[in-house]
Amino acid sequence: MTDVAGKTAFITGGASGLGLATAKALVAKGAAVILADVDGDGAEAAAELLRSDGAKALALQLDVTSEDSWAAAGAKAREFGPVRILFSNAGVGGGSGPFEEYDTEVWRWNYAVNAHAHLYACRTFLAEMKASGEASHLVITSSMVAIVPPPISVAYISSKYATLGIAMALRNELAETRVGISVLMPGMSATRIVETTRELRPVEVEVGKAAATSQAMQGVLAGGMSPDKIGARVVQAIENGDYWIFTHPEWKKMAELVTADMLGAFGTSADPEYRGDDIDGLIAANGGRMFGARI
């Protein structure tokens, strides 16, 4: 559990969408915020809006795929205040079309933004958060599609699945520290992720069926949940120490179907004479914790 009042939060993708919405909810509770975004002008405009209401806010231009950009942002953030809340949130869509036809550069870019950037974020701030001894918190944005994958984008779905894996592993790793962790699993949210993806893609814009799919998803997301409501829930999770942040309960039935399908596939051992894996030994070898709790 982390009291956000008086703490400094570093938020990637902070110029708009879930990042900015969470920043608003944090400053309402007395936190200072650093809005980091590849759109530096957008981040500055958002920070100025917060400052005009009396908040302490800093804008930084940050390319989450660049170690050099992270180093520069980290140095400026430390001058502003010690980061005790880290919201690794920046994300892009993955494009569309059959898997075997994916553009290699789009695939690599999607993973660099949606998954690999969490390593850079933690490398920049997590050690200091641990060493401070203060109640701190890490939030990582995944997606409901990491659990219930619709047939839309292999790059996006698999990178968000990787993100969920990162958060689940860190839950165990951080269990003995004063750094809490949450994984945000939103459903459809009214953000600009489709437009941002279109603007930032490292190759030509999509055409034909792929372009039509992009436009259709833009329309679907426009009717999604308000980012402000999701941002408020994120802050509540930080304060309560919640690991899972499920904001769209209508996805629960589909998640149950996925889980039932997986569990139903367990049968007899491939080797009836094998004694079975030493699960207790595995847990003991890793500090006696799984799911963030001592087993």
- Over 113-142, what HEC string results? HHHHHHHHHHHHHHHHHHHHCCCEEEEEEC
The count of other CB atoms within 10 Å of the CB of residue 149 is 18
Q: Any idea of the CA torsion for 237, 4, 163, 91, to the nearest 10 degrees?
A: 110
Question: Hunting for tokens 């039935």 — which residue is that?
Answer: 253
Q: Which of 39, 35, 238 is nearest to 138 (CA)?
A: 238
Tokens at residue 43, please? 């981040």
Contact indicator for 278, 266 with CB cutoff of 8 Å: no
Is 243 among the catalytic positions?
no
pLDDT confidence of residue 121: 98
Q: Mind listing the pLDDT tens digit of every residue in the chain (295 residues)?
A: 789 999 999 999 999 999 999 999 999 999 999 999 999 999 999 999 999 999 999 999 999 999 999 999 999 999 999 999 999 999 888 777 788 988 888 899 899 999 999 999 999 999 999 999 999 999 999 999 999 998 878 999 999 999 999 999 999 999 999 999 999 999 987 666 656 665 556 556 654 455 455 555 555 556 688 999 999 999 999 999 999 999 999 999 999 999 999 999 999 999 999 999 999 998 888 777 777 766 6
Q: How many CA atoms lie within 13 A of 52 on its CB side?
A: 6
- How far, in Å, CA of 156 to CA of 195, rounded? 15
H or E element in which residue 102 lies = none
DSSP class of residue 270?
S
Q: What is the C-alpha separation between 138 and 271, in angstroms, rounded?
A: 42
User: Helices (DSSP H) in the chain: which residue ranges?
Assistant: 17-28, 40-52, 67-80, 104-111, 117-132, 154-173, 193-200, 208-222, 227-240, 252-264, 279-285
The torsion angle over the Cα atoms of residues 118, 65, 160 and 158, rounded to 10 degrees, is: -130
110-122 residue pLDDT tens: 999 999 999 999 9
Residue ranges and CATH numbers for the domains of the chain are 8-249 (3.40.50.720)
Residues 6+ apart with CB under 8 A from 207: none
Q: Determine which one of 102, 156, 161, 243 is catalytic.
A: 156
| pLDDT of 48 | 98
